[in-house]
Amino acid sequence: MKITLKVWRQKDQNDEGRFVEYTADHVSPDMSFLEMLDVVNIGLVKKGETPVAFDHDCREGICGSCGMMINGRAHGPGRGIATCQLHMRSFRDGDTIVIEPWRSNAFPVLKDLMVDRTSFDRIMQAGGYTSAKTGGVPDGNAILIPKPVADEAFDAAACIGCGACVAACPNSSAMLFVSAKVSQLALLPQGQAERTARVQRMIAQMDEEKFGSCSNTYACEAECPKQISVTHIARLNREFVASQF
Amino acid sequence: MNSFFTFINSSVGKKLLMSLTGLFLSLFLIVHLAGNLLVLRQDGGESFNTYAHFMGGNPLVRTLEIGLFLFIAVHIVNGVRIWWQNRKARGKRYDVYRLDENTTLPSRMMALSASLVLLFLVVHLRKFWVPARFEGEQNMAGLVVTTFQNGWYVLFYLIALVVLGYHLRHGFQSAFQTFGWKTKRYAGLIEFAAAFFWLVIPVLFACIPLYVYLTGGAAVASLR
- Across the range B34-55, mean pLDDT stands at 92
Does the beta-carbon distance from A171 to B86 stay under 8 Å?
yes
pLDDT at residue A133 is higher than 80: no
pLDDT at residue B50 is higher than 90: yes
- Tell me the nearest-neighbour CA distance from A157 into chain B, angstroms: 18
How many A/B residue pairs have CB atoms within 8 Å?
143
The number of helices, as runs of H, and strands, as runs of E, in chain A is 8, 7
- Tell me the nearest-neighbour CA distance from B107 into chain A, angstroms: 5
pLDDT at residue A140 is higher than 90: no
Q: Which residue of B2, B88, B107 is in closest CB contact with A105?
A: B88
Q: Residues A193-213: pLDDT tens digits?
A: 999 999 999 999 999 999 999
Q: Give span(s): CATH 3.10.20.30, chain A.
A: 3-110
- Across the range A113-134, mean pLDDT stands at 93
Band (B148; pLDDT cuts 50, 70, 90): very high
- Residue B131: the pLDDT is 95
Fold for A118-242, please state it: Fumarate Reductase Iron-sulfur Protein; Chain B, domain 2 (1.10.1060)
- Residue B181: the pLDDT is 92
- Residues with Cβ within 8 Å of A208's Cβ and at least 6 positions away in sequence, in order, are none
Measured between CA atoms, the residue of chain B closest to residue A205 is: B10
- Residue B209: the pLDDT is 96
* Residues 108-127 (A) with a CB less than 8 A from some CB of B: none
More confident residue, B138 or A31: A31
pLDDT at residue A64 is higher than 70: yes
Range in A112-126, A133-147, B199-213 with the lowest mean pLDDT:
A133-147
In degrees, rounded to 5, the angle at the alpha carbon of residue A9 between the alpha carbons of residues A30 and A39 is 25
Cα–Cα dist B122/A239, whole Å: 39
- Tell me the nearest-neighbour CA distance from B139 into chain A, angstroms: 43
pLDDT at residue B224 is higher than 70: no
Q: Residues B72-128: pLDDT tens digits?
A: 999 999 999 999 999 999 999 999 999 999 999 999 999 999 999 999 999 999 999
Cα–Cα dist B40/B36, whole Å: 8
Percent of chain B at pLDDT exceeding 90 = 87
Measured between CA atoms, the residue of chain A closest to residue B4 is: A244
More confident residue, A126 or A142: A126
Residue to substitute from A237, A238, A243, A245, interface B, most B β-carbons within 10 A: A237
Cα–Cα dist B150/B159, whole Å: 15
- Across the range A206-223, mean pLDDT stands at 97
Range in B53-67, B115-129, B209-223 with the lowest mean pLDDT:
B209-223
pLDDT at residue A18 is higher than 80: yes
Most confidently modeled of A133-147, A223-237, B40-54? A223-237
Q: Residues B163-210: pLDDT tens digits?
A: 999 999 999 999 999 999 998 889 999 999 999 999 999 999 999 999
Band (B2; pLDDT cuts 50, 70, 90): low
Range in A85-94, A127-136, B82-91, B107-116 with the lowest mean pLDDT:
A127-136
What's the CATH number for A3-110?
A: 3.10.20.30
Q: Provide the 3-class DSSP secondary structure of residue A98.
A: strand
B14 touches chain A (CB under 8 A): yes
Around Cβ B46, how many Cβ atoms within 10 Å?
13
- Residues with Cβ within 8 Å of A219's Cβ and at least 6 positions away in sequence, in order, are A168, A169, A170, B99, B102, B103
Domains assigned to chain B: 11-215 (1.20.1300)
- Residue A1: the pLDDT is 94
pLDDT at residue A100 is higher than 70: yes
Does the beta-carbon distance from B179 to A237 stay under 8 Å?
yes
- Tell me the nearest-neighbour CA distance from A172 into chain B, angstroms: 5
Per the prediction, chain B carries an average pLDDT of: 94
B84 touches chain A (CB under 8 A): no
Which chain A residues touch B92 with a CB distance below 8 Å?
103
Per the prediction, chain A carries an average pLDDT of: 96
Band (B223; pLDDT cuts 50, 70, 90): low
pLDDT at residue B1 is higher than 60: no
More confident residue, A85 or A143: A85
Q: Give span(s): CATH 1.10.1060.10, chain A.
A: 118-242
- Across the range B136-143, mean pLDDT stands at 92
- Tell me the nearest-neighbour CA distance from A127 into chain B, angstroms: 15
Does the beta-carbon distance from A238 to B14 stay under 8 Å?
no
Write A22-30 long-range contacts (CB < 8 A, 24+): A26/A1, A26/A2, A27/A1, A27/A2, A27/A3, A27/A88, A28/A1, A28/A88, A29/A1, A29/A87, A29/A88, A29/A89, A30/A87, A30/A88, A30/A89
pLDDT at residue B222 is higher than 80: no
- Residue B44: the pLDDT is 86
Does the beta-carbon distance from B11 to A230 stay under 8 Å?
no
